Structure 1
Amino acid sequence: MEKEFGAVLKRLREQKGMTINQLAEASGISNSQISRMENGIRGVPKPPTIRKLADALEVPYGELMSAAGFWDADGAAKGLREEAPAWATYKDKRDFKKMLEEDGELMFDGIPLDAEDKQRIKDVLTGLFWEAKQMNKRKKKEPGSPDSPSSS
């Protein structure tokens, strides 16, 4: 996936007639990091970095998110609608389901969101939820932390 994203990034940059240094300046991302992405040496960047690149290249954010493997062709978060990570416990899955099922009217600027917008928001929340859960689990396992088994 890293090489595919890098190839797309390089193609888009070259189509815009930009050098790596110009893209670095426009995006606020170092030229060495961009070079590593393009060459498949660096892993797929996180969505905030992808947003900076999309803005600097003046291309749709979804195009780069799809190239990075985060979104499918329809613009939905890939693999996140139904599947939970392998490490998720029953309690994690229950908590997530409860969070998504809380039934309130989703609105933006006082206007109710349509089904497509609601699904996109759920997809983003899904990714953020599982990322936060995983980070929390890592923190608890760090040696010397109050929650780690070795400090009990």
Structure 2
Amino acid sequence: MTDHEKTPARVSFPDLDAGQYVPLGALVARVRKMRGLSQVAVQQRAGMKASTLSKIECGDNGINGVASIIKLADALEVPREQLFEWAVRYIESHDTGPRRNPR
């Protein structure tokens, strides 16, 4: 997305807006279908490998890295900030590892 393009409108889903947790992959799939896009079209727009989007939507993978979140948000025409929020919720809900203490 270039500076002169405007930010897409936030996506709204009743369950998510009511505070219910919805898995990241389900949200990505919902937006993709709402936009009338195939997995192939989104993968091409985002520059992803063929199986990556499928794995994200199935919950087998999260979105790895800031650049991937930006590319996927742009491909889905979702505000980048919103996809970051969804990704953070996904990470927080799957984070079961020990916390490191800052030194």
TM-score, normalising length: structure 2:
0.64
Separation (CA, whole Å) in 2 of partners of 1:23 and 1:9: 10
The match for 1:9 is 28
Q: Secondary structure at the match of 1:13?
A: helix
Counterparts in 2 of 1:3-152, with a 5 A limit?
A: 4-69=23-88, 86-90=99-103
Query: Size of the alignment, in residue pairs?
Result: 75
Once the two structures are superposed, residues 114-146 of structure 1 have per-residue CA deviations (whole angstroms, 9 ceiling, x without a partner) of: xxxxxxxxxxxxxxxxxxxxxxxxxxxxxxxxx
Give 1:19's aligned amino acid: S
Aligned-residue CA RMSD in angstroms? 2.1
Q: Secondary structure at the match of 1:24?
A: helix
Contact 2:46/2:75 (CA < 8 Å) preserved in 1? yes
Gaps of 5+ in 2: 1-21, 93-97
Comparing both structures, which one devotes a greater share of its residues to helix?
A: 1
Higher relative contact order (CA 8 A, sep 6+): 2
Identity of aligned residues (%): 32
Gaps of 5+ in 1: 71-77, 79-84, 91-152
Q: Which has the larger radius of gyration?
A: 1
Aligned-residue offset at 1:87: 2.0
TM-score, normalising length: structure 1:
0.44
